[in-house]
Amino acid sequence: MAREKNTNTQAQNAPQFLAWHVTEKGEKSYWNKVGAAWPHKDGKGYTLQLETCPINGRIVLRLPLEDAPEAESEGGA
């Protein structure tokens, strides 16, 4: 029973978005996860928590995927 409560709490605390640092080299884009974002209770904003603060490239917020890799490469976003 304790596991059910713990799992439910974890689901409620799951971020709505993951933050990715995207850099481009030539025609390739490199994505590295740098944080996450949670919605405010009033629905009027988000809290963004970054584990690192990149100084170049861009930060992209994306919905989390169950099997999201730590780093992925895409053509452009």
- Residues, the chain: 77
Number of separate helices (H) and strands (E) present in the chain: 1, 5
Residue 43 lies inside a defined structural domain of this protein: yes
For residue 56, give its domain range: 15-66
Q: Does residue 59 register a pLDDT over 70?
A: yes
Return the DSSP state at 11. H
Q: Considering the entire predicted model, what is its pTM? A: 0.69
How many structural domains does the chain have? 1
Residue 56's SS3 state is coil
Looking at residue 65, its pLDDT comes to 85
Band the pLDDT of 72: cuts 50, 70, 90: low
pLDDT tens column, 6-55:
455 555 689 999 999 999 999 999 999 999 999 999 999 999 999 999 99
The encoded tokens of residue 58 equal: 């861009």
Q: Does residue 3 register a pLDDT over 80?
A: no
Residue 10 lies inside a defined structural domain of this protein: no
